[in-house]
Structure 1
């Protein structure tokens, strides 16, 4: 595979570094190597020296020659690890979600003179189904009414491991607003910037953990679309879908069956299935290719959000935590958002 980036020779193999050796970091290594990249793994916890593994002494030097650095560490250190990669000279940096615990925590990254080289992982944009839905939304008459849902039972996520020991349960790094931020990302990418109207968070419930177990948000968009989103860890069986209704379109995207059904204004029903959306490696490869190709969302729907776009979604989460209107649905004060 040829190298991308003006400062690299076309003859130099593409080089990537994955910072973080957990399950998601290992998957990024697998995906990038399947694309033909030379990949170094830079784990947080020390490992025995091996081919393709670098330690803290060699990590920054590896980033200096990297066409792409993927940050797949704990949320609380995402920004610091991304800054190390940028300062070392990495051509591009892809940060796993969520970008940071809160939007303000990413300020040092936003101020960096190479902040435009940062993207934030959003693999749902890499689904073929998402590209179809995006095209239908762009052609639809407005306003639209949207219902977004991502619901599951957290103890089922990692069988054999106590969910209370996972990052999802931590009040400072987990909770559904951070963990399930992909749903908020694609909703805002499809429909436009959110103006939060109301939010309710559930911090008590059957899971007995510090982080919020469920969140319900309502917002409007510049096109006067109305969006209701439900995110939770406390539902069985799971559900993950988007429903849209408008003057000339009815649409359902089922993210578990990887199908889209839309009905046009004349009543014609159209069904689409996207089997390869079920393959996480395929979807992540589309995302990586978009980043390496420096493609924008206008050029490629699979392109993950830029830093400003990701921060807009983080601010929506922050406003929801600050609003948490349980009885009186009033707008949050924008001066504090």
Structure 2
């Protein structure tokens, strides 16, 4: 049976979702936030266009609704889709600007039917890295980074006008939250030790330009994370070190490098990860074919998105980092946690390649 999908939000990430889902054979509808005054099919994606009059009825029978609107609308748009009767929702990151903002969704009776977009989990290289993790013994330390130069994201647009520069919606913690998510999959739930967010720097913007975090997990005694908008050339990856060797994932080249205790190196490259549509198709198939209640091992093997409790846990980590950087020292706010084994979003698969405003 053909799946029915509605993509709410028609910015570049929303259009990419629509194009990919249609390529998978889904009956795909695109519902822009701002009325376009046109009907029929969207020329860019081939998806059927909806409006305020036609949208609710299609959402009510949808197998999946993708919420790709502005961060400030994420919770309301997801709750609306669930209340209308959509079977499942795939919510773009982050869940909300802050954890308290997410409460109406976190406490919704159908919150278990929500996925949170986490496309780095759908990379073949990440799944290979996860499978290799036992080979280095218990990881002692890890360093995660995603660094690029914000003005390069869209050279034809002033970065100061983008959502990334806005204090309430942007900043590297919200923008690059995928790094926090996948590190937690690999190493377990973080306990934040230190955080520094820098608002001063070469860019003129209200949101933080960089963030440096330190945490521990039940597995690793030291995890450092560097996220910033102020680095050229762009670079993204992770290094994990343990008593039996090390692992390094270089996202830009889709390469995983395994070094054993003797220093011997084996590299594997996953060319399919270099195609963003291929990665998103992996995530989309999992979101359509699985329920968030599936066991973690099955979800990870399929390249499925994050669950809502995982998305909320990551959001809580971001809130705690902001508080700690500002001089407070609170614990990470409580959020539903499971065991781990937009309209203005830059593309999560390519540091430095933004997504246009919805």
The TM-score bracket by the shorter chain reads over 0.9
Alpha-carbon distance in 1 for matches of 2:222, 2:181: 15
Counterpart residue number, 2:285? 289
Alpha-carbon distance in 2 for matches of 1:265, 1:63: 54
Shift of 1:106: 0.8
Shift of 1:141: 1.8
Counterpart residue number, 1:82? 78
Counterpart residue number, 2:28? 39
- Deviation string 1:252-296 (CA, Å, 9 cap, x unpaired) is 110011111111234331100011101111000100111111154
Check whether the contact 2:142–2:239 (CA below 8 A) recurs between aligned residues: yes
Counterpart residue number, 2:297? 298
1:104 to 1:58, Cα distance in 2 relative to 1, 3 A: same
RMSD of aligned Cα (Å): 1.5
> Taking structure 2 as the reference length, what is the TM-score of the superposition?
0.87
Check whether the contact 1:46–1:55 (CA below 8 A) recurs between aligned residues: yes
1:336 to 1:85, Cα distance in 2 relative to 1, 3 A: closer
Q: Secondary structure at the match of 2:157?
A: coil
Alpha-carbon distance in 2 for matches of 1:155, 1:280: 21
Q: Decide which moves more: 109-118 or 317-326.
A: 317-326
Q: Secondary structure at the match of 1:256?
A: helix
Alpha-carbon distance in 2 for matches of 1:50, 1:260: 44
- Deviation string 1:14-64 (CA, Å, 9 cap, x unpaired) is 100000011110000000000000011000010112231110122111111
- Unmatched tracts of structure 2, length 5 or more: 42-47, 335-358
Alpha-carbon distance in 1 for matches of 2:176, 2:40: 35
Counterpart residue number, 1:50? 40
- Unmatched tracts of structure 1, length 5 or more: 3-12
1:146 to 1:112, Cα distance in 2 relative to 1, 3 A: same
Shift of 1:143: 3.9
Counterpart residue number, 1:18? 7
Alpha-carbon distance in 1 for matches of 2:228, 2:263: 33
> Taking structure 1 as the reference length, what is the TM-score of the superposition?
0.92
Counterpart residue number, 1:155? 151
Shift of 1:336: 5.7
Alpha-carbon distance in 2 for matches of 1:239, 1:224: 23
Check whether the contact 1:60–1:84 (CA below 8 A) recurs between aligned residues: no
Of residues 206, 212, 216, the one that matches 1:216 is 212
Check whether the contact 1:198–1:325 (CA below 8 A) recurs between aligned residues: no
Q: Secondary structure at the match of 1:298?
A: helix
Check whether the contact 1:78–1:99 (CA below 8 A) recurs between aligned residues: yes
Of residues 119, 136, 149, the one that matches 1:123 is 119
Counterpart residue number, 1:59? 55
Shift of 1:131: 0.3
Alpha-carbon distance in 1 for matches of 2:332, 2:16: 41
Structure 1 runs of 4+ with >4 Å offset: none
Q: Which has the higher contact order (CA 8 A, sep 6+)?
A: 2
Alpha-carbon distance in 1 for matches of 2:11, 2:324: 34
Alpha-carbon distance in 2 for matches of 1:311, 1:225: 23
Alpha-carbon distance in 1 for matches of 2:330, 2:4: 46
Aligned pair count reads 322
Counterpart residue number, 1:332? 329
Alpha-carbon distance in 2 for matches of 1:159, 1:62: 37
Shift of 1:242: 0.4
Counterpart residue number, 1:8? none
1:29 is the counterpart of 2:18: yes
Superposed, which structure 2 residues align to 1:1-337 within 5 Å? Answer: 2=1, 13-47=2-36, 48-51=38-41, 52-294=48-290, 296=294, 297-301=296-300, 302-324=303-325, 332-334=329-331
Alpha-carbon distance in 2 for matches of 1:335, 1:179: 19
Alpha-carbon distance in 1 for matches of 2:20, 2:332: 42
